Amino acid sequence: MAKGFDIDHLAKLARLNLTAEEKVLYSNQLTHVLTYFETLAKADLPVNSDVALVVTEKALRSDEPGMSLGSDAVTKIAPASHDGQISVPRVVDDES
């Protein structure tokens, strides 16, 4: 069993309401994924095998404004919208 994960905590962070069955299902799946990575981590690699890609400034984008999807296209792919804005359940940090 891979160490250090708590399915309730992860579900909370992801704002998911999981049923007891789903918790078992996803716990098992996540364990498989993590075990696989643990196997990878055990592989004997030469020192300095860092594969992070480093690019120079030539690989950057110039500051040229391009196309926009337009609010119709943006709201169309959202489950709900109102007046060009995407509607979501009320999330507030207001003074309470």
Contact set with other proteins (CB under 8 A): 9, 12-15, 52-57, 59-71, 74-75, 77, 82-96
Name residue 52's amino acid: A
- Min separation Cβ 7 and other proteins, Å: 14
Distance CA 80, CA 78 (A): 5
- Min separation Cβ 26 and other proteins, Å: 16
Residue closer to other proteins by CB (options 7, 75) is 75
Asked if residues 86 and 74 have their Cβ atoms less than 8 Å apart, the reply is: yes
- Min separation Cβ 10 and other proteins, Å: 9
Residue closer to other proteins by CB (options 41, 55) is 55
In terms of Cβ atoms closer than 10 Å to its own Cβ (0-12, 13-18, 19+), residue 3 is exposed
